[in-house]
Structure 1
Amino acid sequence: MMRIQRTLDEPADHSIRGETERLRLRELQQFVYDAQDAVDEYKFERLRQRMEDQDRRGDGSSRSGRKRKGDKKEPEADPVPVPVPDELAKRVKKILERFNEITRAWNDLQMDENDAPMLEEDEMLPLPTNPYADEINVVGREEDKENVIKLLTAGGSADDRKLSVLSVVGMGGLGKTTLAQLVYNDRRVSKYFDIKGWVHVSPDFSVKNLASRILMSFTRRQCEATEMDDLQDALMEQVQGMKFLLVLDDVWTEDKDLWNALLSPMLSAPLGMILLTTRNESVSRTFQTMPPYHLSFLPADKSWILFKKLAFGSEVQNIHGEFEETGKKIAEKCGGLPLAIKAIASALRFEPMEETWKEILNSEQWELPGSEDNVLPALRLSYDRMPKHLKRCFIFLALLPKRYLFLKDNVINLWMSMDVLKTGGRKRLENIGRLYIDALVQRTMMQRTRSDDELDCFSMHDLVHDLLQFVTEKDFLRIETQYFDGLAQSYRYLSLVVSSSDTNVLLHSAQIPEGLRIFQIVNATDNSNCYSKLFSLNINVTIADPLWQSFRQLRVLDFSHTGLKTLPDSIGDLKLLRYLSLFKTQITNIPESVCGLYNLKVLDARTYSLAEIPQGIKNLVSLRHLMLEKRSPLCMPSGIGQLTKLQSLSRFSIGSGSWHCNIVELHGLVNIHVELFITGLRRVTNVDDAQTANLVNKQHLQKLTMEWADGSLPGRCSHHPGNENDTVVTPELEEAVLESLRPHRNLKELEIANYGGYRYPIWLGHSSFSQLTSITLYDQRCEFLPPLGQLPQLLELSVQWMRGVKHIRDEFCGQGDTRGFPALKDLEFENMPTWVEWSGVADGDFPCLHELKIKESIELRYLPQPLSCSLSKLVIKNCDKLLKLPALPNISSLILKGNLNEELISDLDLPLLRALKVSLSHNIECILLNRNLPLLEFLAIRKCTKLKELVGLSNLRSLKLLNIIGCQKLQLRFDQPLPQQLARLTVLKCPQLEDWFEFQNAELYDQLIQSDYASDEDREALEVLRDDTEDEVEEEFLDIADEEDDEGEEADFGPLGFSIDDDGQED
């Protein structure tokens, strides 16, 4: 069977074989599927027998997490032969008979022993890298970019319309989207337009959904309106008085009525420009108010430059003559299409033999159907040259919709569950999967859309997606819900795509093909936001009971982002299941029968509604990833420590009583990678148990959270013993427990919450933790902070709710040979109600400090002098008694929020300050702006309800933007001149300033409202003018609505706002 699969892994040959041969191969593939199912079922029976034998011997009760020194691993007994069940034996007989029929009908499969699948050593090595691997390579579009910018900023169409439409027209793969991105992100465009938005338009869009997305792209916040009238009103209000640019990418629909309903509210803007990209000339004619811009093919010289850059690398100087001659001919075959050039050149980067290049040049693929535009043949050739191990993985992406963002770890887990990640050594499967992802990115088959600490998102170009549909058309089916009815029985992999949030999905057995291996419901209701905090739409799913019988061959079952509420006990019959996702469902209980799925490798149960994990979880001996909602009140049963294959366990909840998990079960989980969240540490009453947990040997952990609070709720867990069984925990006991929970020195991030001891352990702050970059200390009774200043790589430190700390002195910086906090960039103190003084900072401490936040510290009087010469941003919130700021020679951004000492704000001597915000200060009556702020460009004063005077405004010679909002008592003198450089003035909800406005010269006022004020560099400083996340957002400042606030709550979705569907791809 392995040799047969080797032949079936040659799709390049399939495309040129005759119809009869393709039919035989199709029959052969069906045989392989059925044979694999039979083999896997027998393996399951053997595993089930082993588990039952262990239970009979009582082995399960002895496999706790505790292990004594000197214990030796017991050798496994020889496996006892397991008889083949009668039903399975009959199926195997029929499968073999069918195979004999196939081979009799076709005797030239041409397989030999060398066809057995082997993993070449170099296939498993990391692929070559270069500094340009992840960059978008754009060649030959400089003139196009300049032309489009001139058209957009020329003031509209010739007849002076308020709303103008410029279409960029061209075939797929030509670079329309890339050109639009270049224009959209140009600093001149950002300066010319007041607001910008970017939306990808799907072929079957709804007007209501698209209106909501446009509004979201303008405001960068979730749209609460749900009715079309409300959306139109919101759009009209948003663009009123604004010059706006809206990019509508990849438009197909020509219906004028739909577009009129969508665009009519935007006529309230004094100037609106719509940049539209489309492949359809008719679309351009339907909406044009300006002549369309036809994007041309790349000329031969530019095509060769792009090809050479990707095939040889940007640093190449000399190219061997034969390579250059062949490469130029291949580039010419691509017909000037950037996507085709990128695909074929990226593939050839891994081909060092000239013969291979000539094979591609002379390939018959160029002449196959579809070659009239040269895109699909180039992609086919690139795909054909791909190593087999990549092909086997890549085809599974055919189940995703076009323009869909997908997470790296989800894809790797799917590959692992389908057994297509192969290793010849000791590498983790997950690491192999990451190598495959990187290889596909380098070959331009997918592109990295966004990457940050939490997320690593990718997408594919439409034409790459079309290629996948071509090579998987017989086995893989991705179908929209409205077309989901009877399906051909040949499909083995099924993806049901839902694109409307009010869709009700009823599934019954007649719809599902037998032998299905993957079934997933894809919630595509605005996938651009699906990994942000805004995405909460669920699909109502109802599954008829007979359907579960059709799922018996499933390996992957994915209900994520649906409204599924229950699972039947019959899910335990899916004995081949390896991947089960209940992410963001409404499941409250996982049936105990799930614990008989011995092949299960991935269980994603990250749903807040889940109350507890089934008791038999310990039987899932193949489980590698158990993903749980970290902050949910979830109970965990004993036995977790027996899952020794676990690679990820996002949450470990400690409880009381025999049913619940004990901390000793962490002992054997030495393979946990990346992150571990431990909650309920207050229930640890034995210091030896904490020592046995063996955190010090968990070398793969990068992030560790230790929370003493109880993570479960008595009302949700039926096994919760109640407080009457709790042991009294003393501060001394908690100190000893934390001392025993010393982590491995490889740790990078540490959070300690609700700790009840009076002092910190010796290990916290020890310089041996040289890789520690982030620490959070939350809600603790300690009176002194630990000496963290000697951690060499610490970049971020957050101290919150430390009620016992009154003084922070020199011990905070630590005793050592190095300066205190040598690498720290961000420091935060919040809710320190008894903190009075901060001192003990010596010259040279905090040499890299960039941002300091001090919030809700009402007793604090003094900050250290000096503090840090590198400090550039300072946030002070509700520190009523703070008398004076220290010398801050390089600070450029200052936020003062809440009640303040009036002298503090009137005595600012900050020569490099560029941005100042004062808000919610209800006690100050006068702000004196002296001449010691020579570079201040942005000033915001908001909701200072008692403020009456603003003195010295004319002293701010560099001021460009002035925002005054919600200052009901503020009055300005009629003879007080405005700063000469002022370019934007915003005044809202200040009734005492109405007469002052009337007095101002109307012409000057109009000039202010319409002026451009901010370059790209200026926008970076505007970050401080945004509200904190707890503030209302209905009055966000006019030109900084697209900047993240000072809390950084909004996810950064890159250059295309909230609608990144195709970042960096050619279209």
Structure 2
Amino acid sequence: MIRNSLWTINSFLLDATLSVVEQPDVAEWMKDVGVAVEDVDSLLKRILDYWEPSEEDKVENRRLMISNFLSMSSRQAILVELKDMACMLNYLVNRGAALGLWVEMMDSMDPTHDDYSAILSKEVIGREEDIDQIIELLQQQQCDEDGNAPFIITLEGTMNGKTTLARTIYHHPWVHRHFQHRIWLDAPLSIRSIRDFKSNVIAKEIAKYTGKSCTNTDYWPLINEHFGGDRYLLILDGVQVSHLFAYKWKEFMLKLLHCGAPGSKVILTGDCFYVFGMEFYIKNYKLNMLSEDTGARILLRYSTFVHPIEANSNHKEKASPAVTDMQIPLKYPLLVKGLGLIYRRINTRLDKEILSRYDLDTLLKYYSWPIERERYFQYQELFGRYSNQCSDEDLFEILVAEGTLRYNWMKNTEYDVPFNFKTDPCFFRMKAWEGSRIPLQCRHLYLPIHSKNISKIKKVIEKAGVADRLRTLILHMKEKKEQIYQYQTVSKILESMFVNLKHLCTLHMGGIMIQYLPSSVGTLHCLRYLNLAENKIETLPESLCNLGNLCVLNLSSCKKLKELPRQIHKLRKLQILKLSSCLRIQKLPESITWLVNLKELDVGDCCYLSKLPDDLCSMKNLMQLEMHGCASLTRMPIGIRQLTNLEVLRGYDAIDGLGNVMLSELQTLTNLESLHIRHLERLELAEEKNITPPTNLLENQCLNELTLHWEWWNDMVAEGTLEPTMQLTQGFQHNLRDLIVLKMVSYMSDKFPSWLMIADRDSLLNNLTTVHLINLRRCERLPPLGHLRNLKEVAISGFDSVKVVDETFYGEDHNSVFLHLRRLTFSEMPRLEKWVGLKHTHSRLLFRSLKELTLIQCPKLKEFHMRFPESLSLKLLLSNEMLMPISKFVGWQNLRQVNMLQIFGCQELRNLPDGLRMIPNLETLEIINCNKLEALPIWLKKSRLKSLFLSGCPALSFIPEELKFMERLTNLYVEACPKLQRQSQVRSSLCFLTTLCR
């Protein structure tokens, strides 16, 4: 009953999404639906949390399940709650019908159910020819001239119903008869980028169809066993593949090719590409947009509730006068449906004004969003879109904990936030205390706390009546740390409050400065995500180990934390454990190795951590191990070669502190994608001891990220002792073709590896997007990087011997230099004097996409001969010759395209250099922590300045009076400039400014 009601509600959502603009009653219905869905999800998860089969000990697991289940609420109470939920959903169904909401039949049932074919036969219009042609392709068995039959069929086109057509093929009678296995997969989205392809994730999804558990990442034997000698049809919907992951795509498809019987097929929908070397297996089918006649037939159906008559081909003229007058092309199925539903509610012509009021394109975009993206934005708005309290990584981990996303070590996102995105009423962000009230629909709550309202927290939640319904609670302390004096009061309030939050799933208490965690946290049996980062906790209560459903535990930067609870192994569902920068932790409990579901262990920058548990190799599911910055860790984990699921390994010693060569341990880690090797300087000592380190140590890996880290001291650098280093770096060339991020730190040879010096399009590094070269102090020239066509970020730092950025840096192909580079940084370049351009290359071919240039501590840079074609942000930090009081800098005229300038920490700066006058497009000027700056020049009144930011300039006493007449200046921020005129005077003089700050 609950399932059927949910599908019926789902079928109302398309019309309801378009109706909320004009109909308040529909908007209220949508709010109630959102709350009901949250409550259903919470209830079902609570039941499943305590009814999860375990192969290890089914009897014990059942006993624990019953005891835990009954301790939270009786079975009778759960049954009553289920009954009430069913009644509520049935009520919402009846309300939706009473509101006259259109039933979108294609959203009314599970699309993989066999009965869905009856819906498709009535709803899919005008695609008969496409269906027949695709079936013919599936039936095709004859080989081409090379003896190859097509194996993969790609459906191409944008917004033209590829998924619907694929559903129709999936349910086609011939497909039912011909294929013994039909598998439909909605390709999982990565939070990092919708264009990433994770073949192992898709392989795992296929393996799920076997109904057998598989703990290893090698799922292919299980898949082969399941398919046996049968034919299968695999449909991958929404596959997003970039050229950077071509090798994974090819590997995945070649493995599929050897599964099942001849005649098996794969259909792809999404943003795919042609893979070199597999063209003979692929058949591309171009799916055209709707014909004008088909679009009119769909429009008629959705605007009148009347199904079109098949025999009548002149549908557009007979629909209605509004349809006849409309000049909008009817080519995209979802857009046509939306237009039809709007027509059904209005009697006038659908003009641009009405369309802008409905914002149809945005509404349909939200409607068709995958749940991963919607939840991401909901939580982002809950924290505050521009808040520094929550990172992309935090959002990712919350989604993993609640089961919306799979674990993926690439945690940063490239989602664009829509400007007018509005959160659901279930997500409530408390702002002001006076007169503010938490709505009854609230299930996710952001609560700012400070010394004056700490005692009110519990009362506010209890008064709203939502304590036992909350799923997310975010507590945020806005005061500066040195001003907080009621740490213990916060903990006491939490002690009594936790008891009532019995359904809480997500608890974020990062940076609220509590000194101890209340023992009542152990009563939060539904908790899945707990963030205690940046608190002053010294010990954790043993009751924390009662949180059997906890998936994410973040204790990062708890600098006073001394140890973890001894029974931490009870957190059997834990997937992510973050302990980075816990400075007092010296060892981890041995029982931590019992956390068999752990995927990420982060002990980075735990500087006193002296060892890791001996039995770490038993954590077979571990995918990410972070050990960077562990200065006291003298011995690497034993048996790391057995962690075959490992994808990320950072802070791994080439040779550990006991002299053991550890590189050979990496050869079995075939799933490794990100690797940080440190202490490579110890290879020199290994040579002296006649220990031969392996050179081609990573022959079986396809690395995406590689960091090579030497830790030299000045007295260790000597001529003729770097041969092992050169051998090792040359050995890496087998793994570079798939590399996306490359970092080299303290490389002390004066010669670059040969693979870094290839200056043409045949470079092994063409997939690189990020390059960081840090402290390469002996290199006298920069390596050629300009030809790397995918490069987006370059950081060059600590090149003590470089005096000139010359043409070598640009590579040999001068027709497209740094084509896609967006950020470029030069820092700690004490001898850099000159930056030359390319004389015979047009400036539009250089740095065409560059958005940010940063120069840090380049005290001798006097000549700048590089021009940039587009608007640019320029950041000048610390000592730079171009800012000196008596500067001979040549090149301000080449910075004409700079529209944003930031000057930070230049202690010699007393006045802005006159050369800045040569930047006519400057719109934003930021000056921060320049202690000797005394005045701003009068010539600023003639600039195009729109924003002025001044902070930490104690000697600054003068802003030109003429600035107040600059109508273009709309933002002024003044902070920590005590000699400047009083803020009241600034406000009265510059009253037209839109932003005035302290």
Using the size of structure 2 for normalisation, the TM-score is: 0.49
Relative contact order higher in (CA < 8 Å, ≥ 6 apart): 1
